[in-house]
Amino acid sequence: MGHFIQAFIGARHSLEKIKQDYGASEVFDLKQGLSILPLIDPLYDSIPDEEDTNLIDERFQFLTPKIVKLLAEHSSNTSTGYIETDYFGGQGSQGAILARAGKIIYGPKIGDGSINEALKLMGIQKASSLDEFDTVELGRFRSNEDFVVKTLDTLKLTKAVQILRDCSDVPYKEAVEHLVQAVGDKEMGEKLMEFLPLAYARIGFSNSGVKFDDRFCRSVGNGKFSHFCPLEAEPIWNEVVAFAKKEIEQGMPIEIWQPVAEWSALFDAINKACLNKTSLQGAVMSPTFFLRSASMPLPPLRKWWQFWK
């Protein structure tokens, strides 16, 4: 299992001030009075650059002078920190830096236990059998995308669906740009462009007799593709399926949901079969192949008796 986050941690009122000043992200509550503000791309980009834009420590992903300055400015009456994790398959690293009363009092430090040390300085009391990291439930969020999914509310989904309906005659890249602007995150906007139309196509044709494959993979370049993963392993999949299902099953006419579904290769394949007067009953669709390279969920674990697969 991986863990890859970049985020500010501190008192909610301090993080809310950062959000108020720069927007583009949401504050989430952890335990023991601690909150977290994920440093998603739009937030990082909205923070004014300092003259020096180089990393303070190249082992960090985003720790530049403007992040350090921001910590100092938002720690006058409290402790405000910045953390990063980068783990996959049990291997990786973590780092932390902490400011209090306008000064850096810890770090920047990279290494196992650095986040726990910062949390201790913030007054976190670890629970029995748990370290500080797990006590405040930082493990609840395994990537910055997890935070974005939790802010992917009905309003944002409604806007995204309306954009796809209204943009049926515009180029693909332009439609993606509209989605990115609507949800405030580039990666999430691109994933909505992939998964929303797919969800509408599958729900729309659920009674057609077609058998859908519940797996997907991605291009990794050079004509190669990643491992297959269940669609439900993708964090936003269940969200968009539930939204599409609610709309279509409430009697939405095909003229309304079809413009969304038409953005998917699945709809195109089924539509071509219909035009060729091919029966859909019992037709089996292949897994979904996305041509955009992006991170994939971990492949599902095999049962012990499936060692030969």
DSSP, residue by residue, 145-184: HHHHHHT--HHHHHHHHHHHHHTTTS-HHHHHHHHHHHHT
Cut 0.85: pTM above it: no
In a shared domain, residues 210 and 246: yes
pLDDT digits (tens, 9 = 90+) for 1-35: 578 899 999 999 999 899 888 876 778 889 999 99
In a shared domain, residues 299 and 157: yes
pLDDT level of residue 68 (50, 70, 90 thresholds): very high
In a shared domain, residues 178 and 102: no
Q: Which domain holds residue 280?
A: 152-306
Cα-flanking dihedrals φ and ψ of residue 262, to 5°?
Answer: -60, -20
In a shared domain, residues 104 and 161: no
Domain boundary among 143, 178, 200: 143
Task: Give the mean pLDDT of 280-294.
Answer: 91
The total domain count for the chain is: 2
In a shared domain, residues 225 and 248: yes
Give me the helices (H) in the chain, please: 12-22, 41-46, 65-73, 114-121, 132-135, 144-150, 154-166, 172-183, 186-204, 237-249, 254-261, 265-275
d(CA 162, CA 184): 16
Does residue 303 surpass a pLDDT of 60? no
Does residue 97 surpass a pLDDT of 80? yes
Task: Give the mean pLDDT of 155-165.
Answer: 89
Residue 108, preceding peptide bond in cis (omega within 30° of 0) = yes
- CB-count exposure of residue 275 (10 Å: 0-12, 13-18, 19+): exposed
d(CA 45, CA 23): 11
Considering only residues 150 and 220, tell me which one the structure prediction assigns the higher pLDDT.
Answer: 220
